[in-house]
Amino acid sequence: MNSVVAGITYRALLGRRRIVLLLLLPVALLGLALLLRLMGSDDQRSAMLLMQNFAIGTMLPLLGLIAGTGVIAPEIDDGTIIHLMSKPISRPVIAQTKFLVAASLLAVFAAVPTYVAAWLLVGNEDAIAPGFAVGALVAGIAYAAVFLLLGVVTRHAVTIGVVYALVWEGLVGGFVPGARKFSVQQWAQSIADQISTSPFLKADVTLGFAVPALVIVTVLAVLWAGQRLRVLSLTGDE
Protein backbone atom coordinates (compact mmCIF):
# COMPACT_ATOMS: atom_id res chain seq x y z
CA MET A 1 0.00 0.00 0.00
CA ASN A 2 1.41 3.35 -1.04
CA SER A 3 -0.44 6.44 0.12
CA VAL A 4 0.73 8.66 -2.74
CA VAL A 5 -0.45 6.13 -5.34
CA ALA A 6 -3.74 5.81 -3.48
CA GLY A 7 -4.18 9.58 -3.26
CA ILE A 8 -3.64 10.09 -6.98
CA THR A 9 -5.97 7.20 -7.81
CA TYR A 10 -8.76 8.52 -5.59
CA ARG A 11 -8.45 11.94 -7.18
CA ALA A 12 -8.56 10.46 -10.67
CA LEU A 13 -11.72 8.49 -9.89
CA LEU A 14 -13.59 10.91 -7.68
CA GLY A 15 -12.58 14.13 -9.37
CA ARG A 16 -15.10 15.98 -11.47
CA ARG A 17 -17.33 14.02 -13.83
CA ARG A 18 -16.13 10.55 -12.96
CA ILE A 19 -17.87 10.55 -9.61
CA VAL A 20 -21.18 10.92 -11.43
CA LEU A 21 -20.54 7.55 -13.03
CA LEU A 22 -20.09 6.01 -9.61
CA LEU A 23 -23.15 7.75 -8.17
CA LEU A 24 -25.60 7.02 -10.97
CA LEU A 25 -26.40 3.40 -10.15
CA PRO A 26 -26.57 3.70 -6.34
CA VAL A 27 -28.88 6.69 -6.71
CA ALA A 28 -31.08 4.64 -9.06
CA LEU A 29 -31.14 1.80 -6.52
CA LEU A 30 -32.18 4.10 -3.69
CA GLY A 31 -34.74 5.72 -5.97
CA LEU A 32 -36.27 2.35 -6.80
CA ALA A 33 -36.37 1.36 -3.14
CA LEU A 34 -38.05 4.63 -2.26
CA LEU A 35 -40.57 4.18 -5.06
CA LEU A 36 -41.45 0.65 -3.94
CA ARG A 37 -41.92 1.89 -0.40
CA LEU A 38 -44.14 4.76 -1.48
CA MET A 39 -46.24 2.36 -3.55
CA GLY A 40 -46.69 0.16 -0.51
CA SER A 41 -44.68 -2.81 -1.80
CA ASP A 42 -42.25 -2.66 1.08
CA ASP A 43 -42.30 -6.39 1.73
CA GLN A 44 -39.63 -9.07 1.76
CA ARG A 45 -40.49 -10.34 -1.71
CA SER A 46 -39.93 -7.03 -3.45
CA ALA A 47 -36.85 -6.37 -1.34
CA MET A 48 -35.46 -9.68 -2.51
CA LEU A 49 -36.26 -8.94 -6.16
CA LEU A 50 -34.65 -5.52 -5.94
CA MET A 51 -31.57 -6.90 -4.22
CA GLN A 52 -31.05 -9.88 -6.48
CA ASN A 53 -31.87 -8.30 -9.80
CA PHE A 54 -30.69 -4.77 -9.40
CA ALA A 55 -28.31 -4.39 -6.46
CA ILE A 56 -26.33 -7.60 -6.92
CA GLY A 57 -27.33 -8.45 -10.48
CA THR A 58 -26.78 -5.12 -12.21
CA MET A 59 -25.33 -2.39 -10.05
CA LEU A 60 -22.55 -4.40 -8.41
CA PRO A 61 -20.89 -5.80 -11.55
CA LEU A 62 -21.17 -2.50 -13.39
CA LEU A 63 -19.74 -0.52 -10.47
CA GLY A 64 -17.07 -3.19 -10.14
CA LEU A 65 -16.24 -2.61 -13.76
CA ILE A 66 -16.16 1.18 -13.40
CA ALA A 67 -14.05 1.14 -10.25
CA GLY A 68 -11.90 -1.91 -11.02
CA THR A 69 -10.81 -0.88 -14.48
CA GLY A 70 -11.06 2.83 -13.66
CA VAL A 71 -8.24 2.72 -11.13
CA ILE A 72 -5.70 1.68 -13.74
CA ALA A 73 -6.88 1.33 -17.36
CA PRO A 74 -7.14 5.06 -18.20
CA GLU A 75 -3.64 5.63 -16.82
CA ILE A 76 -2.22 2.85 -18.95
CA ASP A 77 -4.08 4.23 -21.96
CA ASP A 78 -2.82 7.79 -21.71
CA GLY A 79 0.62 6.85 -20.41
CA THR A 80 0.33 8.67 -17.08
CA ILE A 81 1.06 5.37 -15.31
CA ILE A 82 4.70 6.02 -16.24
CA HIS A 83 4.77 8.57 -13.42
CA LEU A 84 4.13 5.80 -10.89
CA MET A 85 6.11 3.09 -12.64
CA SER A 86 9.30 5.13 -12.99
CA LYS A 87 9.69 5.25 -9.22
CA PRO A 88 11.40 2.81 -6.85
CA ILE A 89 8.10 1.21 -5.86
CA SER A 90 7.49 -2.41 -6.68
CA ARG A 91 4.84 -2.89 -9.31
CA PRO A 92 2.88 -5.42 -7.22
CA VAL A 93 2.58 -2.73 -4.52
CA ILE A 94 1.13 -0.37 -7.14
CA ALA A 95 -1.36 -3.07 -8.17
CA GLN A 96 -2.29 -3.84 -4.57
CA THR A 97 -2.82 -0.17 -3.78
CA LYS A 98 -5.03 0.28 -6.81
CA PHE A 99 -7.00 -2.80 -5.77
CA LEU A 100 -7.56 -1.40 -2.28
CA VAL A 101 -8.77 1.89 -3.73
CA ALA A 102 -11.23 0.10 -6.03
CA ALA A 103 -12.43 -2.15 -3.19
CA SER A 104 -12.97 0.79 -0.85
CA LEU A 105 -14.93 2.64 -3.53
CA LEU A 106 -17.15 -0.39 -4.00
CA ALA A 107 -17.75 -0.57 -0.24
CA VAL A 108 -18.90 3.05 -0.25
CA PHE A 109 -20.76 3.17 -3.56
CA ALA A 110 -22.17 -0.38 -3.68
CA ALA A 111 -22.32 -2.05 -0.24
CA VAL A 112 -23.59 0.96 1.71
CA PRO A 113 -26.36 1.85 -0.79
CA THR A 114 -27.33 -1.83 -0.90
CA TYR A 115 -27.84 -1.79 2.85
CA VAL A 116 -29.78 1.47 2.78
CA ALA A 117 -32.04 0.33 -0.08
CA ALA A 118 -32.92 -2.94 1.66
CA TRP A 119 -33.42 -1.12 4.95
CA LEU A 120 -35.81 1.34 3.30
CA LEU A 121 -38.00 -1.61 2.33
CA VAL A 122 -37.83 -4.02 5.22
CA GLY A 123 -35.75 -2.40 7.94
CA ASN A 124 -33.51 -4.95 9.57
CA GLU A 125 -36.14 -7.66 9.31
CA ASP A 126 -34.68 -11.18 9.03
CA ALA A 127 -31.26 -9.56 8.55
CA ILE A 128 -31.94 -9.10 4.84
CA ALA A 129 -30.28 -5.68 4.68
CA PRO A 130 -27.06 -6.66 6.50
CA GLY A 131 -26.96 -9.94 4.57
CA PHE A 132 -27.01 -8.30 1.16
CA ALA A 133 -24.72 -5.50 2.32
CA VAL A 134 -22.04 -8.00 3.40
CA GLY A 135 -22.61 -10.03 0.23
CA ALA A 136 -22.21 -6.90 -1.89
CA LEU A 137 -19.10 -5.91 0.04
CA VAL A 138 -17.33 -9.24 -0.37
CA ALA A 139 -18.39 -9.68 -4.00
CA GLY A 140 -17.41 -6.06 -4.65
CA ILE A 141 -13.92 -6.81 -3.37
CA ALA A 142 -13.69 -9.80 -5.73
CA TYR A 143 -14.97 -7.73 -8.66
CA ALA A 144 -12.42 -5.01 -7.86
CA ALA A 145 -9.64 -7.58 -8.15
CA VAL A 146 -10.95 -9.26 -11.30
CA PHE A 147 -11.61 -6.03 -13.17
CA LEU A 148 -8.29 -4.55 -12.06
CA LEU A 149 -6.58 -7.56 -13.61
CA LEU A 150 -8.63 -7.10 -16.76
CA GLY A 151 -7.60 -3.44 -16.90
CA VAL A 152 -3.92 -4.40 -16.74
CA VAL A 153 -4.12 -7.31 -19.17
CA THR A 154 -6.13 -5.83 -22.00
CA ARG A 155 -6.92 -2.49 -23.54
CA HIS A 156 -10.47 -3.69 -24.16
CA ALA A 157 -11.17 -4.19 -20.48
CA VAL A 158 -14.48 -2.34 -20.49
CA THR A 159 -15.92 -4.26 -23.43
CA ILE A 160 -14.83 -7.61 -22.10
CA GLY A 161 -16.02 -6.63 -18.63
CA VAL A 162 -19.49 -5.69 -19.86
CA VAL A 163 -19.77 -8.93 -21.81
CA TYR A 164 -18.65 -10.89 -18.77
CA ALA A 165 -20.93 -9.11 -16.33
CA LEU A 166 -24.02 -9.26 -18.51
CA VAL A 167 -23.63 -12.42 -20.57
CA TRP A 168 -21.85 -14.75 -18.21
CA GLU A 169 -23.26 -13.58 -14.91
CA GLY A 170 -26.65 -12.59 -16.24
CA LEU A 171 -27.54 -15.17 -18.85
CA VAL A 172 -25.31 -18.20 -18.50
CA GLY A 173 -25.29 -18.00 -14.70
CA GLY A 174 -29.05 -17.64 -14.76
CA PHE A 175 -29.85 -20.53 -17.09
CA VAL A 176 -27.01 -23.03 -16.89
CA PRO A 177 -27.05 -24.49 -13.38
CA GLY A 178 -23.44 -25.70 -13.47
CA ALA A 179 -22.10 -22.28 -14.49
CA ARG A 180 -23.87 -20.76 -11.52
CA LYS A 181 -21.19 -22.15 -9.28
CA PHE A 182 -18.67 -19.90 -10.99
CA SER A 183 -20.47 -16.62 -10.61
CA VAL A 184 -19.42 -13.87 -8.26
CA GLN A 185 -23.05 -12.80 -7.90
CA GLN A 186 -24.07 -16.26 -6.77
CA TRP A 187 -21.32 -16.26 -4.20
CA ALA A 188 -22.61 -12.90 -2.95
CA GLN A 189 -26.06 -14.42 -2.55
CA SER A 190 -24.66 -17.40 -0.66
CA ILE A 191 -23.20 -15.00 1.88
CA ALA A 192 -26.41 -12.97 2.04
CA ASP A 193 -28.33 -16.19 2.58
CA GLN A 194 -26.03 -17.22 5.37
CA ILE A 195 -26.60 -13.99 7.26
CA SER A 196 -30.27 -13.50 6.48
CA THR A 197 -32.97 -15.72 7.90
CA SER A 198 -35.56 -14.76 5.32
CA PRO A 199 -37.43 -17.71 3.79
CA PHE A 200 -37.48 -15.85 0.45
CA LEU A 201 -33.75 -16.22 -0.04
CA LYS A 202 -32.39 -19.53 -1.27
CA ALA A 203 -28.81 -19.60 -2.51
CA ASP A 204 -27.74 -22.21 -5.06
CA VAL A 205 -24.11 -22.30 -4.11
CA THR A 206 -22.99 -23.55 -0.73
CA LEU A 207 -21.05 -21.28 1.57
CA GLY A 208 -18.31 -23.92 1.68
CA PHE A 209 -17.71 -23.30 -2.01
CA ALA A 210 -18.48 -19.57 -2.21
CA VAL A 211 -16.09 -18.32 0.49
CA PRO A 212 -12.95 -20.15 -0.68
CA ALA A 213 -13.84 -19.25 -4.27
CA LEU A 214 -14.10 -15.54 -3.42
CA VAL A 215 -10.80 -15.60 -1.54
CA ILE A 216 -8.96 -17.50 -4.25
CA VAL A 217 -10.29 -15.36 -7.10
CA THR A 218 -9.47 -12.14 -5.28
CA VAL A 219 -5.96 -13.11 -4.19
CA LEU A 220 -5.00 -14.65 -7.52
CA ALA A 221 -6.33 -11.71 -9.53
CA VAL A 222 -4.41 -9.15 -7.42
CA LEU A 223 -1.18 -11.17 -7.54
CA TRP A 224 -1.50 -11.74 -11.25
CA ALA A 225 -2.22 -8.07 -11.88
CA GLY A 226 0.99 -7.22 -10.00
CA GLN A 227 3.00 -9.63 -12.11
CA ARG A 228 1.51 -8.31 -15.32
CA LEU A 229 2.30 -4.77 -14.26
CA ARG A 230 5.95 -5.79 -13.75
CA VAL A 231 6.24 -6.74 -17.40
CA LEU A 232 3.96 -4.06 -18.78
CA SER A 233 5.60 -2.62 -21.86
CA LEU A 234 5.10 0.98 -22.69
CA THR A 235 5.77 1.87 -26.25
CA GLY A 236 6.39 5.32 -27.57
CA ASP A 237 4.39 7.07 -30.21
CA GLU A 238 6.53 5.61 -32.94
Partner 1 sequence: MKIELAQVSRWYGNVVAVNDVTMTIGPGVTGLLGPNGAGKSTLLHMMAGFLAPSNGTVTLDGTRVWKNHQVYRHIGLVPEREGVYGFLTGWQFVLSAARLHGLPDPVEAARKALATVEMEEPKDRRVETYSKGMRQRVKVAAALVHDPPVLLLDEPFNGMDPRQRLHLMDLIRTMGAAGKTILFSSHILEEVERVAQHIEVLVAGRHAASGDFREIRRLMTDRPHLFRIRSSDDRRLAAALMLDDSAGGVSLGPDGLEVRAVEFRGFARLLPRVARTEGIRLHEVSPADEDLESVFSYLINRST
Q: Which residues bind partner 1 (CB under 8 A)?
A: 2, 4-5, 7-8, 11-12, 15-16, 78-80, 82-91, 230-238
Q: Please, what is the minimum distance in Å from the beta carbon of residue 14 to partner 1?
A: 10
Q: Please, what is the minimum distance in Å from the beta carbon of residue 2 to partner 1?
A: 7
Choice between 17 and 202, CB closer to partner 1: 17
Q: Please, what is the minimum distance in Å from the beta carbon of residue 94 to partner 1?
A: 9
Q: What are phi and psi of 86, to 5 degrees?
A: -95, 30
Q: Which long-range contacts (CB under 8 A, 24 or more apart) does 49-52 make?
A: 50/117, 50/118, 50/121, 51/114, 51/117, 51/118, 51/128, 51/132, 51/192, 52/189
HEC letters along 50-99: HHHHHHHHHHHHHHHHHHHHHCCHHHHHHCCHHHHHCCCCCHHHHHHHHH
Choice between 45 and 230, CB closer to partner 1: 230
Q: Please, what is the minimum distance in Å from the beta carbon of residue 82 to partner 1?
A: 5
Choice between 91 and 98, CB closer to partner 1: 91
Pick from 27, 26, 115, 8: which is nearest to 70 by CA?
8
Choice between 7 and 31, CB closer to partner 1: 7
Q: Please, what is the minimum distance in Å from the beta carbon of residue 225 to partner 1?
A: 16
Radius of gyration of the chain (CA): 18
Residue 192 and residue 203: Cα distance in Å, rounded?
Answer: 8
Residues in the chain: 238
Choice between 138 and 222, CB closer to partner 1: 222
